Amino acid sequence: MLKKRVIGVVLVKDGVAVQSIGFRRYLPIGKPHVAIEYLDRWGIDEIVVLHVHAAGPADAQTVAGYARRCRVPLAVGGGIRDAGAVKRVIQAGADKAVLNTAAITHPGLITEAASLFGEQCVVVSIDAKRRSGGMHEAFVECGRRGTGLSPAELAARAASLGAGEILANSIDRDGIKQGYDLELLRAVAAAVSIPVIACGGAGHPEHMRAALACGTAAVAAGNFFHFVEHSVILVKRQLAQAGEPVRIDSYANYEGRAFSDDGRLAKQSDAALDALRFRYVPEEVI
Amino acid sequence: MSGIVIVDYGMGNLGSVADAFAALGVQCRIADAPAGLRGARGIVLPGVGAFGAAMTNLRERRLDGALTASVLERRTPFLGICLGLQLIADDSTEHGFARGLGWVRGHVLRMEPGPPYPVPHVGWNEVEFRSGARLFERVAPGAHFYFDHSYHLDGGAEGATATCSYGRPWIAALEKDNIHAVQFHPEKSQRNGLRVLRNFARYVDACHA
């Protein structure tokens, strides 16, 4: 059966991978290609690289650099406003193009991109803020301009225009590690019959489980994966233990391991640790 | 010298396919015209996008005839990836009706798994393959590969060697003599994907031993 996807988001600002808080504060993490390599090595299912506050779309050389060591699907977004940009990004090595502001300003681009490369190449990402009365409003231009539209409405429009997937992101939850905006996710998932990717607010693997329970096909996180060794494997193993169908292919898979309240590995007994010193893991040559 | 040629017909990125082979130490070259197929010991046809546009591109570059001559007549080892699996069938109903290369009997239709399964079928799914399938040597049964498609090769198609399940079984791979094809993306399926590519590269070498 098809598994739920765990997706790593790498936000890039001025060529640096950054941590984002509320779409306002950006703190440097390091080189994007290093983040990509680690995510891939730890068995991430897919990687989304987003250029924030981009003057224009990423150039071919940059995209090729991201794709070079990425053995999982790569989606690239940020500043994509015309078909030429979609073409360059895909032909440079991306598998999918992510459209955000363009979904409002150039909605025809969704259809054009889908007809050029197929709907499965088009991801429309929607950033949302909570409004009074429990409603949400979609924002574009990295959270600076309100659209007056509900994310669910925008998602349905995008799907009818040819989008293959929706990435639903919460601006309020971004970077505060309090969990995803579950009402946002439920609303968007109910509005479309294409896959929805949850994003924004992960602080603990339990948050990911709750997000998947809203009907999303995948769960994405940016900041969350950057700070802990094997973070991807920690998440996947805990999701698997909670009964979610996920793929765990990496050699390090933490099967049978216990986790502490903060979602990290619980320490094993000294005897078990001792035995690990003599475990031989031959490197596989494919 | 692998002699493996990756066909460029303007449909999506082939860099990832070339990179994946390169990670295995298998150097490939790119061909965007019939002359480039000369001397090829193996041919890879990747592809992402619409069937109709793809066939148009192949015909415009005269690659359809050249590929058929190389693969069907000279029996050059062949690997089709994603759209590359669909193009070798008889026809497709994507955005209208278009004829394919017709190397294997079968029709390409839109996936309709029914609720609650969204289309496209995107993500990692388990592939069950029949024993002896060349591309899956040393791959564990039920191994995961990455799929991303809205159209599929119908169940009656000839040569099917593997399926995946998404509401119901769908063809994931086929093999017919020197012709191989996969619906998933081996270049985007981490280690399992690399194993599949290695198996094809070994077959290419074995054919020229």
8 Å CB contact of A67 and B13: yes
b/e map A221-259, b = 16+ CB within 10 Å: bbbbbbeeebbbbbbbbbbbbeebebbbbbeeebeeeee
Interface of B with A in 80-139 (CB under 8 A): 83, 95, 115, 117-126
Q: How far apart are the first and last CA of chain A?
A: 26
Residue of B nearest to A5 (CA): B123
Tokens of B129: 């393959």
- The catalytic site residues of B sit at 82, 185, 187
Q: What is the pLDDT of residue A228?
A: 84
8 Å CB contact of A120 and B120: yes
| 3-state DSSP assignment of residue B205 | helix
Task: Determine how many CB atoms are found less than 10 A away from the CB of residue B142.
Answer: 11
8 Å CB contact of A5 and B123: yes
Residue of A nearest to B186 (CA): A71
pLDDT tens digits along B148-189: 999 999 978 789 999 999 999 999 999 999 999 999 999 999
**Dist CA A38 CA B139 (whole Å):** 24
Q: What is the pLDDT of residue B2?
A: 67
For residue A105, the distance in angstroms to the closest alpha carbon of chain B comes to 24
Average pLDDT over residues B20-32: 95
Q: Does B192 touch chain A (CB under 8 A)?
A: yes
Tokens of A71: 């053995």
**Dist CA B142 CA A101 (whole Å):** 40
Chain B residues touching A91 at Cβ < 8 A: 12-13
A45 → closest Cβ in B120, B123, B195: B123
Quick check: B191 pLDDT over 90? yes
Query: Which among B13, B19, B21 is the top mutation candidate for probing chain A, defined by the most A β-carbons within 10 Å of its own β-carbon?
Result: B13
| A133 burial via Cβ count (<10 Å: 0-12, 13-18, 19+) | exposed
What pLDDT tens digit does each residue of chain A (286 aa) get? 999 999 999 999 999 999 999 999 999 999 999 999 999 999 999 999 999 998 899 999 999 999 998 999 999 999 999 999 999 999 899 999 999 999 999 999 999 999 888 889 999 999 999 998 889 999 999 999 999 999 999 999 999 999 999 999 999 999 999 999 999 999 999 999 999 999 999 999 999 999 999 999 999 999 999 988 899 999 999 999 999 999 999 888 999 999 999 999 999 999 999 998 888 888 888 9
Query: Which of these, A199, A203, A223, A193, lies nearest to A211 by C-alpha position?
Result: A199
Q: What is the pLDDT of residue A55?
A: 86
| B17 burial via Cβ count (<10 Å: 0-12, 13-18, 19+) | buried
Chain B residues touching A5 at Cβ < 8 A: 123-124
Strand order, beta sheet including B98-99: B98-99, B91-92, B107-110, B151-153
A45 → closest Cβ in B13, B53, B124: B124
Residue of A nearest to B163 (CA): A1
Q: What is the pLDDT of residue A30?
A: 95
Q: How many residues does chain A have?
A: 286
Quick check: B59 pLDDT over 90? yes
Residue of B nearest to A215 (CA): B116
Task: Determine how many CB atoms are found less than 10 A away from the CB of residue A1.
Answer: 9
Query: Which of these, A28, A35, A98, A30, lies nearest to A69 by C-alpha position?
Result: A35
8 Å CB contact of B191 and A286: yes
Q: What is the pLDDT of residue A172?
A: 95
Chain B residues touching A4 at Cβ < 8 A: 123
8 Å CB contact of B190 and A64: no
A249 → closest Cβ in B15, B144, B185: B144
Is beta strand B4-7 parallel, antiparallel or unpaired with respect to B42-45? parallel
- Residue in the structure block whose two tokens are 């497709």: B92
Residue of B nearest to A43 (CA): B190
A1 → closest Cβ in B95, B165, B187: B165
CA B140, B142, B144, B148 dihedral sign is positive
3-state SS of chain A is: CCCCEEEEEEEEECCEEEEEECCCEEEEEECHHHHHHHHHHCCCCEEEEEECCCCCCCCHHHHHHHHHCCCCCEEEECCCCCHHHHHHHHHCCCCEEEECCHHHHCCHHHHHHHHHHCHHHEEEEEEEEECHHHCEEEEECCCCEECCCCHHHHHHHHHHHCCCEEEEEECCCCCCCCCCCHHHHHHHHHHCCCCEEEECCCCCHHHHHHHHCCCCCEEEECHHHHCCCCHHHHHHHHHHHCCCCCCCCCCCCCCCCCECCCCCECCCCHHHHHHHCCCCCCCCCC
Quick check: B1 pLDDT over 60? no
**Mean pLDDT (chain B, rounded):** 94
ipTM of the complex: 0.92
CB proximity list for B178: less than 8 A, separation 6 or greater = B71, B75, B76, B77, B78, B207
**Dist CA B126 CA B87 (whole Å):** 23
CA distances from B60 to A206, A224, B16, B34, B82 (A): 53, 48, 24, 11, 21
Q: How many residues does chain B have?
A: 209
Query: Which among B16, B127, B170 is the top mutation candidate for probing chain A, defined by the most A β-carbons within 10 Å of its own β-carbon?
Result: B16
Question: Per-residue confidence at B127, pLDDT binned at 50, 70, 90?
Answer: very high
Number of CB pairs, chain A paired with chain B, less than 8 A apart: 129
CA distances from A214 to A145, A154, A211 (A): 27, 18, 5
Q: What is the pLDDT of residue A265?
A: 92
b/e map B42-69, b = 16+ CB within 10 Å: bbbbbbbbbbbbbbebbeebebbebbee
| 3-state DSSP assignment of residue B16 | helix
**Dist CA A12 CA A28 (whole Å):** 9
8 Å CB contact of A217 and B118: yes
